[in-house]
Amino acid sequence: MCITLIISILLFYSATMAMPRAVIGSYDIYSHDSSLPFLKRASNGHPYIQLVENTFNPPGTIDGSGNFDYSFVAENGIEQEGFGSTKIIGDTEIIVMKGSYKYVGPDGQTYVLDWYADETGYHPSAPHLPQDVPIPYPEIANAVDAQIAFAATEKRFNGKVDVYPQISRPYLETSGYGLF
């Protein structure tokens, strides 16, 4: 019995030590150690990108609060960082985050994007992102402003306008066989 247990433990230990070591990469959740010849490329054919720097402080490790942060720098120049904290809205606890990432595009230009995410959604900000186009004619801008002002004054149905009021009434008001 004792010998069987010892042999089982040794077999389990040798099997786990023979497995390739996983390191975090950019193409898969885990990339394998690139020193192994059969694991030098990801499943999509691209080489694995190693992380030069990697930091992760999970919730509860920064000042004992629910705050957290992470950052990494990859060998191809991609950098990312993010910070998160909790916020109470009413009786609901939500997570708010902010961060940025940086990469070099195919054109050789460095792109930086700053962002934040809260109860209102995800908000990216960068000069290379598409910008709103101004309305070219003042008449159109005035009409849009008038529509927005009218919609704000409409209070029926808890702020929703009944676009098809005839549907809410009984449709068949005829007698007989239900024909019009």
With a cut of 50, list the residues of the chain below it in pLDDT: 22-34, 37, 157, 168-172, 178, 180
CA distances from 116 to 46, 79, 81 (A): 31, 16, 12
Domain range annotation of the chain: 1-45, 138-168
Which pLDDT value is given to residue 132? 84
pLDDT digits (tens, 9 = 90+) for 88-112: 888 888 889 999 999 999 999 999 9
- Please state whether beta strands 31-32 and 51-57 pair in parallel, antiparallel, or not at all (unpaired): unpaired
Which pLDDT value is given to residue 15? 57
103: left (phi over 0), alpha (psi -120 to 50) or beta: beta
Residue 125 CB neighbours (<10 A): 11
Q: What is the DSSP letter of 168?
A: G
User: Rounded distance, CA 102 to CA 82, Å?
Assistant: 12
| pTM of the shown model | 0.52
3-state secondary structure of 6: helix
Backbone angles phi, psi at 138, to 5 degrees: -65, -30
